[in-house]
Amino acid sequence: MACPPIQNIYDILSVNGSIFLDLSDIFLNQQILENGLEKKLLICPRVKIQSGENNMVITRKKMLIETDFLLENCSDLIQLQVKLFKLLKDHKFPQEFYMRVFPIDMSLSQSNLLKPQYVNINSPLLLKLFKHITENGKYITIEEPMPSLKDYESDVCSEYVLESTI
């Protein structure tokens, strides 16, 4: 297939098929597999390309959290919610985000745990979803919701998703 050079570069940077991988996932996976994760929490910054006033976000800001650390001393949803409020505030994350189990376990392919799930911790129902997902893996990732209209002067924002099927 003949593609413009910039599309080839973008395709290489964001190849994700249907597994929803991006650059930060590759970095986090390398940290876990090669180095072992010594910390309970690891943050990957937002990666963007800027040209003048235009921005293109390549990778959203993401946090990898060990689930045992997150669930320890949280016997109910209220304690978990308080811990989450503090964690998100300390690391300048919004109270709404996308999350999923990490690393991706293909044995979960029949469940909804492969795809990132939207969570707002102010919603009791979504907080239960957060706890359910957290209990099903060794790590979870929390990813900022982007694009956000708050980041733009106008009320128009475009998001492009590139899907590769082999």
Residues 119, 145 contacting (CB under 8 angstroms)? no
**pLDDT the model gives residue 13:** 58
Give the separation between CA 72 and CA 134, rounded to whole angstroms: 12
Structure tokens at 51: 């040209």
Asked if residue 159 is part of any domain, the answer here is no
Asked if residue 40 is part of any domain, the answer here is yes
Asked if residue 152 is part of any domain, the answer here is no
**pLDDT the model gives residue 99:** 92
Asked if residue 162 is part of any domain, the answer here is no
Give the separation between CA 18 and CA 27, rounded to whole angstroms: 18
Asked if residue 92 is part of any domain, the answer here is yes
Would you list the DSSP string of the chain?
----HHHHHHHHHH--TTT---HHHHHHHHIIIII---SSEEEE--EEEEETTEEEEEE--EEEEEHHHHHTT--SHHHHHHHHHHHHHHTT--SEEEEEEES--GGGTTSTTSS-EEEETTSHHHHHHHHHHHTTSSEEEEE---S-GGGSSSS-----------
Average confidence (pLDDT) per 10 residues, the chain, 166 residues: 55 52 69 68 85 81 91 91 94 92 65 77 93 89 79 66 62
**pLDDT the model gives residue 5:** 60
Asked if residue 56 is part of any domain, the answer here is yes
User: How many domains does one find in the chain?
Assistant: 1
Within 10 angstroms of residue 98's Cβ, the number of other Cβ atoms is: 18
Please give the residue range of the domain that contains residue 45: 5-147
**pLDDT the model gives residue 136:** 85
The three-point CA angle 163-156-22 to 5° equals: 30
Asked if residue 155 is part of any domain, the answer here is no
**pLDDT the model gives residue 86:** 95
Residue in 48, 44, 43, 42 with CA at minimum distance from that of residue 14:
48
**pLDDT the model gives residue 78:** 93
